[in-house]
Amino acid sequence: MDIAKKLLIGLKAEDFRHPFDFEATQELKQQLPGLDIAVRSLLGPLAEQVFYLNNIASSVLVGENQLPDLYKLLLDACKTLDLEAPQLYVQQNPVPNAYTFAMRGKQPFMVLHTSLIEMLTPEEIQAVIAHELGHLKCEHGVYLTLANIVALAANLVPIWGTVITQSLQEKILEWQRCAEFSCDRAALLATQNPKVVMSVLMKLAGGSPTLSPKLNLDAFIAQARAYDEIDRTEIGEMLKTAQTAQLTHPVPVLRAREIDRWSSSQEYQKLLQARKKGYNSKASSGGWRNW
């Protein structure tokens, strides 16, 4: 099926970055000055080489002559988001997931698990790809690398980690959840269809290759309203905060609600109009980051 899309010429991360992401990033920059330079110059290049070796040895590199349909989805999303294409790998894994080393460098990459590909339609796969591109576009890799280091320190030395890193870990987790909202927006900008992005979130919450075609998106969106209603009581708000405090991602219904709201906003419509250049696309044809 041919879908008319709009190229977003000159798109910048700040054009779509979620305000939660912006505020959390600014707070980390103030608390950890100079960290971005250190990670970018020291840890980034080393991590890229380590991940490249692992990917090239144990995954399938997608290209013109290898899974070309997936490669086209990648190029199409990069073209829409005005971004150079990273390497794309497919990896055998029963857990549906995708992740990226989200730092602009010599060898940026993303990985899709086979179980995720089997569960999604081509449009939905492109939404996942674009979400990962969002991490790259927003250069989230600096603080994602820090998140991995903090988590590793806490695991290796539990007592020291509890005393020293607990506060920092909480702030990093909060930032990670905020960053996801920006990347969901990137997925929407690439597909330009909010139902596609929300469908991915629904399938990740409760889908499988056999169940996914039977799921009802309208019913899933209705769940978001029920989730919002929990805030009406003080104990409900407290429980919700406790539930999400240790998560790296916002809960799926909240992400779906955010996309539903932003896709209907004047901000989103103005962004499409300001950056647009029409073309037709056949949708059917570090730190690292999980979807």
Number of neighbouring beta carbons within 10 Å of residue 33? 9
Number of neighbouring beta carbons within 10 Å of residue 67? 18
User: What's the chain's length in residues?
Assistant: 291
The reply to whether 229 belongs to the active site is: no
| Sequence-separated (6 or more) residues with CB below 8 Å from residue 89 | 55, 59, 60, 61, 62, 109, 110, 111, 112
Which of 48, 123, 132, 180 is labelled catalytic?
A: 132
Cα torsion 30, 245, 134, 102: sign: positive
Asked if 120 and 68 touch (Cβ cutoff 8 Å), the reply is no
List, by residue number, the catalytic residues: 132
